[in-house]
Structure 1
Amino acid sequence: MKFNLSSKALKISPSITLEITAKAKEMKSKGIDVIGFGAGEPDFDTPDNIQYAGIKAIESGNTRYTATSGILELKEAICKKLKNDNNLEYKPSNIIVSNGAKHSIFNALFAILNPGDEVIMPIPYWVSYPEFVKLSDGVPVPVETREENDFKFDLNDLENALTHKTKAIILNSPSNPTGTAYSYEELKNIAEWAVKNKIFVISDEIYEKLIYDGHTHISIASFGEDIKKLTILVNGMSKAYAMTGWRIGYTAADEEIVKIMTNVQSHTTSNPCSISQYASVAGLTGDQSVIEDMKKEFVKRRDYMVDKINSIKGLSCRKPIGAFYVMANISNLKGSTINGKTINTSLDLANLLLEVAKVAVVPGSAFGADDFIRLSYATSMKNIEEGLRRIEDILK
C-alpha cells in the first residue's frame, strides 16, 4: 500500500550524527570493539549534588505536572545565572524551560517564522538547524564560511545573504561542530547589523561554559536593550552539567515571544520533566567547580587530538577554543583510494573508518561541509589515543 504522507515531514533529512552513533552502538552490541568519536555528550557523570536533588524530588513527590513553561524556582535560578554570568536582566516571565535546548530552538523558530521567511546560518551548521527551519515553514539560508576565518560569518556574509524575507540569523558560539567562538568586536558588529535590519538573533549558547585558553563567553544580548529585544537566547543543562539525558533547555526572550512558545509547548509536550527541573535548580545554584575540573580534562584531550590529527598525512585541523569537537580537513584525501575504496565524500571516509578501522566519526556533509569530518573529544584519553592510532594506520 502506498501512503499519502506529509510532504513537509518527508523533506526532513535524518540526523546523520545519530545514524552514525546508532550504527556504532549496534556494532558494539555484537562485541565489535568500536571507538566512538561521534557523541555530542560529556562522558562524565552528572555531578552528585544534581543527582541527589533529583532523588530528593522523587522522594518529596515532585513527580507531577508543573506549569508548562517550568517551575518558578528554576526560572528564578536561570534569571540569577543570566545576571551573574552574562550581565543580563530578565524576569521569570521572560523564561521558558523546555525538553532540552534542541526543543527550545525549535519552539523559538516555530514562534517567529511565517511561510517563506528566511533564516541565515553559517556553514558548518549544527545538523538540526536547517531541519527546524523547514519544519517551521521557513527557508534555511546557509552561508559558506572559511576555515582560515575559524568558520565564522562576518558582516559581508550577512549583507550578501540579506533579503526582504530575512527573519532571523542563528548564532552558535561556542559552536557545534567547529568549536569556534565569536569575539567581542565580532558580536558587537553582528548586533548592530541585526538592530539596523530588525533581524531576530537566535543565540544558541549551550556550550557557553566550555570555552578554553582564557577566552570569555559573551552573549550577544548584552550589547544593549535593542539587541536584547531581538535576541532569543537559548541555553541548557546538557553540556556543562553532563545532563544530556535529563533533557532541560531554556530560552530567555521578549515576553511576547515566550508566551507564543509556551502556548506551542502546552499543545505538544506540556512541561519538561519535573524531576529534572528540580535537579537543574541544584545545578545552577550549587558548586560550579565541577565544570572547571571537566574543562581541564577537555583541554588535555583537545590538545592531544589536535596535535595528533595534524601529524597524520592527509588530515589537518585548527585548534578549537570551545565545545568538545575538532573539524578535521579531509580535502587532501578526496579522490584517493584507501583500503580498496575510493574516497569521494566525507561519508565515504566515515563509512570506511567505521567498517575497517572500527572508529566512528561524523561526516562533514551532516553540517553542510563535505571537506571535513567531526571528531568529539568527549571520550577518554585512552579511546582518543587508540582511535587516532587506528585512523593513522588506515590512512597510511
Structure 2
Amino acid sequence: NAYCKVFSRCGLEYVIVQAESGEMGGSGSHQFTVPCENGEDIIVYTEDNAQAWNLEKAPVDPLSKQPPVDVGPAALVYTPKAGKIDDACAYMNVTADQLIKTLIYKSGQDLIVVLVRGDHDVNLEKLTRLMGGAHIEMAQEGDIVELTGAAVGFAGPVGLCDKAAQVFIDYGVAAMAVGATGANKTDYHIKNVVPGRDFPLAGNHIHIVDVRNAVEGDTYEGKKLLFRRGIEVGQVFKLGTKYSEKLNARYLDADGVEKPLLMGCYGIGINRIIAAAIENGHDDNGMILPISIAPWEVIVTPAAPDEDVVQAAEQVYEAFCDKGLEVLLDDRDLRAGVKFKDADLLGIPVRVTIGKKSLADGNVEIKCRSENDVVRVPLAETTETVANRIADMKAALTS
C-alpha cells in the first residue's frame, strides 16, 4: 500500500505485476510498472485482467500436440555457413516454427541443453528457476564445440541429449510432430526429426517444461495473453529468511523463542518516475507534469516590461509565497511568447500572466498546463483562485 500511495501521489497510472526474484532470491517479487509505449519492459496479462507478469515471469500453457506425420527417417541436409535461424530455414525451405533451436548453457562445470522452437526465445529467468537458482550463462565456443563436435550454430538434440548434465525441452518442441534441427556437424542440419523418436522426451535428466518467453497467441489457464510495454518504477522482493539465516540475524518472539528475521528488499526508481510521467504526459510544447512532481506549482509571468505590470507580478509572487505555494517569477527581459514557451516546456501546472491590457481592466490571466482555455480573474482574487486550483489538483492525486 505504501508503494501504491507513492505512485498515485506522483500522478502515475501503474500496474502491479508478478516478477522474477532472479539472483536476489526469496519467495517472490512484485514489480510496479507504468504502461508506456516507449517502455523497455513488457507487461503480460490475461485477457480478463485477473493476472499480470513481466515478460521474465509470464507463464504459458503447453501447446497442443500436433498430429503425427509420416515423414520417413531423419535426413542430413548440407547447409553451408547456415548457423543462423533465417539462413537454415532458407536452405531447408522451412519456417522458424518448424525448426528446433538448441542452446547450450553452463552452470558450474555442467553443460545444460535447452530446446525451443526456432521462433521462440529462451527465458533465462525461467531456466534459472528450473535450475534451483544456480548461476547460468551461455557456454563458451570451446565448450560448445567439445560437446557437439561442430561449430557454433549447428547444434541439435539428436545424439546430444545423453551428453548433457540436464536437458530442458520446451513444451513447444515437445508438441511438434516433426521438425528440422542442427546435425552436430559443421555446415549440416537434419530434416524429418521426430521428437520422441529421434531424441528422447523422457529420462532422469530430461525435463519437459515452460522455458521460453510468452508470445502473441499464447494462453495461460486457457486465457489469452495480451502484451503492452511499460517502464518499471519500483520493485519489492520477499526475501524471507534467505539472508538472515546466513547472517545469523535473529530476534526473540513474544514467547522468547529465537527466530531468523524476515527480510524484504524495496526499491523505487526516482529517475524512472520522472521519465514515466514525461512519457505519458507531454505534447509538442513540452512536459505536462502532475502537480506533485512539477518543478514549481505555479509560474508568474509579467508579459510586458512596464513598471505597473512588473510591480503587480511581484505582488502576486509575494502573495503566493505567503500562501505557501511553490512559485517561480519569470522576470527575465524577454518577449512574452518566449516565456510562455519555456513555462510549457518545464511542465509547470499553472501559469499566471499579468499583461498590460488585462491589468488595466483589473484582471490577470490563469492557464493550466493541461488545459487550452485561459481564464480571467480579478487581480484581488488571484491568490485564492490559484491556491484552490492547486489544492484541487493535489486532492485528485490522493482520492
Q: TM-score under structure 1 normalisation?
A: 0.22
Between 1 and 2, higher relative CO (CA 8 Å, sep ≥ 6) is seen in 1
Considering fraction of residues, name the structure with more helix.
1
